[in-house]
Amino acid sequence: MKKAERITYMVDLFWKLLTAIVMTAFALMLIIMAIQVISRYALGMAVPWTDEASRYLFLAEIFLGSVLALRLQEHIRITVVTDMLPRPLRHLAGILADIACMLVLLMLIGGAWNMMERTAGVMASTFDMSFSYIYLVQMISALLMMGILLVNLYRRIVSICLPVSDLRRSL
């Protein structure tokens, strides 16, 4: 197996693993919420850890799922104006949007780091887990999104600089 094929295989494996993690978090959240509803309304007793566990799984699902959505270009966006632009201006608008998103992600990374430091010693109320893990998931997600946006930005800039025939050869 060539080096490029190995890298492609590892990247594909990473995305499959991330998808499995997000789907597992969703399934666990549903199961835990079902336990919560059944125990509270059918059995008349509350299970204290279900609320907190489902909240943490939901946060992990949102942040890691947003990475997958960005990778697949599935985020909600309004393209009325950009669809009317000629191709070079559409690329320029995409570049500006990627840069703006990266600036927001840099702020998110900084905020997550700050909150990880602040909550390192704060434990969840119903089980033994530091709050800093929530912010770690947020930071990892923002870093992954930053990587995706950097690749998108590179491709947009190359597509503006190179003619279409050279672009096919370079990618």
pTM of the full structure: 0.84
- Residue 157 · residue 149 · CB < 8 Å: no
Task: Look over the chain and give the mean of its residue pLDDT values, rounded to a whole number.
Answer: 88
By three-state DSSP, how is residue 73 classified? coil
Q: Which residue is it, tokens 């969703």?
A: 26
Which neighbouring-strand residues pair with 123? 130
C-alpha to C-alpha distance for 5 and 89, rounded to whole angstroms: 35
pLDDT digits (tens, 9 = 90+) for 107-118: 999 999 999 999
**Interval 53-67 mean pLDDT:** 94
Mean pLDDT of 21-43: 92
The helix/strand/coil state of 123 is strand
* pLDDT on residue 167: 47
